[in-house]
Amino acid sequence: METRPPTPNQDAIIQCVRSRVGPDAPRVEQVEVDGKKYWIKRPEKLNWRFRLQKGSPKIAFERERAAFHDMNGYEVPVPQLCAEGKDFLVLPDCGPDLRTLFRKEKVEERRHALLMEAARTLGVFHKKGFSHGRPSPKDMCRSDSGVLMLDFERYRQKNNTLKGQARDLVIFAFNVIAHSPNVRGSLSEAMEVYRGAAPDGTWQLSSQWCRRMRWAKYLVKPAQWSEGNRSKEFKAIPQLFDLFAGKA
Ligand SMILES: Nc1ncnc2c1ncn2[C@@H]1O[C@H](COP(=O)(O)OP(=O)(O)O)[C@@H](O)[C@H]1O
Ligand SMILES: [Mg+2]
């Protein structure tokens, strides 16, 4: 778990960020400064149609910045901000993301162990009183000091509640079911691991929410027959409900 603030060369990092500004600058990119890897993140540039769908990129960027300000300085499994400006954040490299590792790791026991670590990390994060907003193995990285959580564009202080954490848990499980078939079978065990680390009551709230939503299972039936990512997500819904009903 990253707790000690790193001591990067701020001036060199900021110089690097400035040197890469431009219309073609990627929104998220890895750079190297003084032999160390960092990631620069900038606000998304959206056309009006996507702005209507996704909301203001500036607000999302400020949410993420607020998350790091709220969490850095506490023992929370997130990286320490290395540098920031009005239109950029810089984080240390946190290693490969877990969705990629679940896909690439050949040894089943190692994939299983990684999923348990992810679940424990989410539990610890919640126990510290925070909620993420949209946790996914894609936004959890395996750093040298353990799993760290990233991508706080959906963070809101007012969701740092049991209810917000219960929603996090459902979203996390949903993302594993939909996008990481290699570890799906270990999810109920991962939920036990989560419960061992998390505040009392989150699991119960998640289960209640899924019970109330069970009718959605029937609504999404036709969508499950189509191909592609959307259908993977629709197909995940019945499995998600079974998991929180203790049947998976
Ligand atoms: N500090 C970091 N360390 C390692 N990987 C990172 C880091 N920051 C971003 N990434 C990688 O880039 C991806 C996109 O970054 P993210 O903050 O999730 O942006 P987006 O809002 O586009 O999803 C992440 O899923 C992760 O794979
Ligand atoms: Mg992301």
Regarding whether 137 and 38 lie in a shared domain, the answer is no
Of 70, 92, 114, which residue constitutes the final position of a domain?
Answer: 92
**122-139 mean pLDDT:** 98
Q: What is the pLDDT of residues 12-34, one digit of tens each?
A: 999 999 999 887 889 999 999 99
pLDDT at residue 25, as a whole number: 84
Regarding whether 122 and 159 lie in a shared domain, the answer is yes
> What is the percent of the chain with per-residue pLDDT over 70, rounded to a whole number?
89
Q: What is the pLDDT of residues 194-213, one digit of tens each?
A: 999 999 999 999 999 999 88
pLDDT at residue 10, as a whole number: 87
Regarding whether 138 and 237 lie in a shared domain, the answer is yes
Q: What is the pLDDT of residues 41-54, one digit of tens each?
A: 999 887 777 667 67
Q: Which atom of ligand 1 sits closest to the CA of residue 150?
A: 17
Q: Which atom of ligand 1 sits closest to the CA of residue 138?
A: 25
- We report the CATH number of the domain holding residue 18 as 3.30.200
With a 6 Å cutoff on the Cβ, whether 91 touches ligand 1 is yes
**pLDDT greater at residue 79 or residue 235:** 79
How far away, in angstroms, is 136 Cα from ligand 1 center?
11
Q: How confident is the model at residue 7 (pLDDT cuts 50, 70, 90)?
A: low
How far away, in angstroms, is 135 Cα from ligand 2 center?
9
CA distance 155 to 175: 17
Regarding whether 198 and 128 lie in a shared domain, the answer is yes
CA distance 191 to 175: 14
Tokens describing residue 6: 């790193």
Q: How confident is the model at residue 231 (pLDDT cuts 50, 70, 90)?
A: confident
Regarding whether 180 and 85 lie in a shared domain, the answer is no
Q: How many domains does the chain have?
A: 2
With a 6 Å cutoff on the Cβ, whether 67 touches ligand 1 is no
Count of CA atoms in the C-beta half-sphere (13 A) of 11: 0
On whether residue 186 sits in a domain, the answer given is yes
On whether residue 49 sits in a domain, the answer given is yes
pLDDT at residue 21, as a whole number: 85
How far away, in angstroms, is 46 Cα from ligand 1 center?
18
Length of the chain: 248
With a 6 Å cutoff on the Cβ, whether 26 touches ligand 1 is no
Tokens describing residue 3: 């707790």
On whether residue 145 sits in a domain, the answer given is yes
**pLDDT greater at residue 94 or residue 4:** 94
- We report the CATH number of the domain holding residue 173 as 1.10.510.10
Of 23, 57, 92, which residue constitutes the final position of a domain?
Answer: 92
pLDDT at residue 137, as a whole number: 98
pLDDT at residue 35, as a whole number: 93
On whether residue 3 sits in a domain, the answer given is no
On whether residue 133 sits in a domain, the answer given is yes
**220-225 mean pLDDT:** 63
Regarding whether 214 and 117 lie in a shared domain, the answer is yes
Q: Which atom of ligand 1 sits closest to the CA of residue 151?
A: 17
pLDDT at residue 54, as a whole number: 73
**145-154 mean pLDDT:** 97
Regarding whether 115 and 87 lie in a shared domain, the answer is no
Among the bound ligands, the one closest to the CA of 97 = 1
Q: Which atom of ligand 1 sits closest to the CA of residue 91?
A: 1
pLDDT at residue 121, as a whole number: 98
Q: Across all residues in the chain, what is the average pLDDT?
A: 90
Q: What is the pLDDT of residues 104-124, one digit of tens each?
A: 999 999 999 999 999 999 999
pLDDT at residue 220, as a whole number: 64
Q: Residue 169: give the domain boundaries.
A: 98-244
Q: Is the pLDDT of residue 3 over 50?
A: no
